[in-house]
Amino acid sequence: MLPAAQRLRRTSDIQSVYKTGRATFTPAVRVLAKATQLAQNRATVVVSTRVSKKAVERNRLKRQLRATLRKLLMQTNGTHDIVIIVQPKALKVDTTQLISALIFCFNKLHLL
């Protein structure tokens, strides 16, 4: 789990990233990012029931992405609010491909 200061929790903050943030995607994940003036990065991982009806599968995807996200947030350029949306295809790829998809999106948004 991410430290409390690095979690993007409020619905209004997440909606702000949806409306004004830059986006990129792969078949497995979609990443939205918005530059901020805060002291540190904040992020959230969204896995809807459209991805899987099983909570066990959704939570496994969240855990895998948060573990990678924790490391990536320390390497980012500047401070950002980041929303990671998991796509249904993420269940079909293995963990290394999921992580590389996330890193690809971060690079494409010039976050790393």
Domains detected in the chain: 4-108 (3.30.230.10)
Give the total residue count for the chain: 112
pLDDT in tens, 46-76: 999 999 999 999 999 999 999 999 999 888 8
**Which helix (H) or strand (E) segment is 31 a member of?**
strand 29-35
pLDDT at 5: 86
The pTM for the full model equals 0.91
d(CA 107, CA 24): 10
pLDDT below 70 — which residues of the chain? none
At 12, list the tokens. 């209004």
